[in-house]
Amino acid sequence: MVSAIITCAGSGERAGFGFNKLLKDIGGITPFEKTVCAFADSGVIDEIIVVCTKQDEEIFRKKCLDRSINAVFVTGSTTRGKSVKNGLEAVSGDIVLIHDGARPFVSRRIICDCVKTATKFGSAITAVPLTDTIGEVKEENGEKVLVSSSRDGKYAVQTPQGFKTELIRKAFSLASDDEVFTDESGVFAKYIGKCHIARGENANKKLTYAEDFSIGGNGRLFVGTGFDLHLLVENRKLILGGVEIPHDKGLLGHSDADVLTHAIMDALLSSASLGDIGRYFPDTDDKYKGISSILLLQNVLDLLNKSGYKPINVSAVIQAQKPKLSKYVDTIRSSLAKNLGLEDSAVGITCTTLEGIGIVGREEGIAVQAYCLTKKED
């Protein structure tokens, strides 16, 4: 039988919310629920023990009840070590995983690997190889100086940390109350023996500071919308998304009149609240006469980039009675994706006729409605 202790008794002061950070909304769910659900849904955990303060117990209990999760509640203490010790008293499994409530992105794979490693070796410390170099710093004459730096053989230690229950209980019983360990691996290593490593993931990060709680990492998402319509006339090329489409008419305009690229550029600028393309490329400026709109798109991306935005995906509907565009859609998508620096799968293009109605229906023009999602790094 496998038990999991979820530690939720911390004050979360560094996040500065004024309430338990595990109750912060992270896109319709709290870190507490996401963490508990990860263990409950893993299929390898038989018992969940939540260690929390008396004050938060009622709300945590309700959240478990709402999600039909059976959990045992244990009152935490002033330090992590004492809280875990309290939790261990309630454990009935012969293997126990101990996990930070503030690591909601723990995957099923991590949980399963941790159980397997702990069952085989008696201990399982989830960890990832460091990508940042760690520097040792000391003070010299009041100034901080780097003594050494290295990342060879260094790992960042995460949770869950799994153990044979009797071994980790023994470790805690041997440790004195005033000994401070940042996590259970320290207690185990000191009193029992070697800790085995289980494979972690960079995504399994601990939510500590307020900025860690923004969805999609450190950045905010913005939606943009753009619309354009150009007249279809004879003796002009028909360019859509930088692709020339064979047709007996083309779009009229100061540039190459690529109505699709224009709508997408406006959507991108709109998402970043940067105005519209008329502001940057006025049709009174000879410089832009006949210019490829794909070149203008590069300028728009530069403008976005300078303001800290980058596109995530683009979606557009081309409204055209004729020509039939379905066989060109993949080429158009690839062209736009390449020029936007996106995967083809991040560009969605649909086409529709307007049933003979209006300017588009009478084949007098082609219109495009475009949307995009952009991300602004904080």
Residues found near Mg ion in the complex (CB under 5 A): 228, 262
- With helix as H, strand as E and coil as C, how does 47-105 read? EEEEEECHHHHHHHHHHHHHCCCCEEEEECCCCHHHHHHHHHHHCCCCEEEEEECCCCC
- DSSP 3-state of 256: coil
* Phi–psi pair at 175, nearest 5 degrees: -75, 145
* Residue closer to Mg ion, measured from CB, 117 or 255: 255
Q: Which is nearer to Mg ion, 183 or 228 (CB)?
A: 228
Q: Which is nearer to Mg ion, 290 or 356 (CB)?
A: 290
Judged by CB, which is closer to Mg ion: 110, or 370? 370
Rank residues 24 and 262 by Cβ distance to Mg ion and give the closer one.
Answer: 262
Q: Residue 275 region, left (φ>0) first, then alpha (ψ -120 to 50), else beta? A: left
Shortest distance in whole angstroms from residue 247 CB to Mg ion:
18
Rounded to the nearest whole angstrom, what is the least distance from the CB of residue 281 to Mg ion in the complex? Answer: 10
DSSP secondary-structure letter at 195? P
Q: Furthest-apart CA pair in the chain: how many Å?
A: 89
**Sequence-ordered strand ranges (E) for 234-364:** 239-240, 243-244, 250-251, 309-319, 347-352
Alpha-carbon dihedral sign for residues 38, 41, 44, 46: positive
* Residues 158 and 200: beta-carbon distance below 8 Å: yes
User: With respect to Mg ion, which residue has the nearer C-beta, 50 or 259?
Assistant: 259
Residue 261 tokens read as: 């690229």
- C-beta of 357: minimal distance to Mg ion in Å? 22
Question: CB of residue 269 vs Mg ion: minimum separation in angstroms?
Answer: 13
Please give the residue whose beta carbon sits closest to Mg ion in the complex: 262
What distance in Å separates the CA atoms of residue 336 and residue 239, rounded to the nearest whole number? 12
Q: How far is the CB of 262 from Mg ion (least distance, A)?
A: 4
Rounded to a whole number of angstroms, the minimum distance from the CB of residue 305 to Mg ion is: 22
- Name which of 252 and 303 has its Cβ closer to Mg ion: 252
The angle at the Cα of 121, spanning 116 to 127, to the nearest 5 degrees, equals 70
Helices within 125-164 (DSSP H only): none
**Shortest gap between Cβ of 228 and Mg ion (angstroms)?**
4
